A and B are shown apart, each in its own frame.
Chain A
Amino acid sequence: GESVGLHLPTLSVQEGDNSIINCAYSNSASDYFIWYKQESGKGPQFIIDIRSNMDKRQGQRVTVLLNKTVKHLSLQIAATQPGDSAVYFCAENPMGDYKLSFGAGTTVTVRA
């Protein structure tokens, strides 16, 4: 399953399929990006990050892609599991700044 275009608020994906969540960021000065997972009633949990000098970074079952030309970030989750159901946020951090600016979030629902 894939969220088409820049952002969709919800994504439904079959268990075992791959998920792609997209995010557009706004600040050209941002040089650090993070994907967070938020489960109901909990705070944002770090998934993976990437710096602007990279265009791809892989973790366990997750990959982040960064396209600075169009200011686009994506998160790919391989073999999506029921435990992946959550809201996913991208966040950007401008160089020299200490705050994170969050995107609107995508709710991922995994169908059994």
Chain B
Amino acid sequence: EPEVTQTPSHQVTQMGQEVILRCVPISNHLYFYWYRQILGQKVEFLVSFYNNEISEKSEIFDDQFSVERPDGSNFTLKIRSTKLEDSAMYFCASSLTGPSNGYTFGSGTRLTVV
């Protein structure tokens, strides 16, 4: 069964450093997403991406965040200057069309900012 792959599984970074979280969506999917989950809390939407541009973003997705699809297979989330409160699980997801068509999550990257 096709899956969304995320690397690394765990990243520890110093406060103020830049991090890049990587995702390989399912190959024929067209829509890509990032979500985050602070420990013990619900999953929160960050951003959706389609046709090489952001289609929607949440209030959480401020100027510190950016997304990119640098080639035909990877989808990245960059946090420019990490803060302690950025510590969370970050999930990538992809779908063929909208949420009702193959919306699949990766296993996540646990980001710890120290």
Binding site for B on A (CB under 8 A): 32, 34, 36, 41-46, 49, 51, 89, 91, 93, 97-105
In the complex, which residues of chain A have a beta carbon less than 8 angstroms from the beta carbon of B41?
A: 104
Binding site for A on B (CB under 8 A): 4, 31, 33, 35, 41-45, 48, 50, 55-56, 58, 91, 93, 95, 98-100, 103-108
Select which of B31, B33, B42, B104 is within 8 A of A105 by beta carbon.
B42
Query: Do B99 and A93 touch across chains, with their CB atoms under 8 A apart?
Result: yes
In the complex, which residues of chain A have a beta carbon less than 8 angstroms from the beta carbon of B42?
A: 89, 102-105
Which A residue sits closest to B31, measured CB to CB? A98
Query: Do B44 and A98 touch across chains, with their CB atoms under 8 A apart?
Result: no
Query: Do A32 and B91 touch across chains, with their CB atoms under 8 A apart?
Result: no
Which B residue sits closest to A51, measured CB to CB? B100
Query: Would you list the 3 A-B pairs with minimal beta carbon distance, nearest first?
Result: A43-B105, A102-B43, A99-B45
In the complex, which residues of chain A have a beta carbon less than 8 angstroms from the beta carbon of B58?
A: 99
Which A residue sits closest to B102, measured CB to CB? A46
In the complex, which residues of chain A have a beta carbon less than 8 angstroms from the beta carbon of B50?
A: 98
Interface centre among B33, B42, B104 (most CB of A within 10 A): B42
Query: Do B91 and A98 touch across chains, with their CB atoms under 8 A apart?
Result: no
Query: Do B105 and A99 touch across chains, with their CB atoms under 8 A apart?
Result: no
In the complex, which residues of chain B have a beta carbon less than 8 angstroms from the beta carbon of A41?
A: 107-108
Interface centre among A43, A44, A93, A104 (most CB of B within 10 A): A43
Query: Do A42 and B100 touch across chains, with their CB atoms under 8 A apart?
Result: no
In the complex, which residues of chain B have a beta carbon less than 8 angstroms from the beta carbon of A44?
A: 43, 91, 105
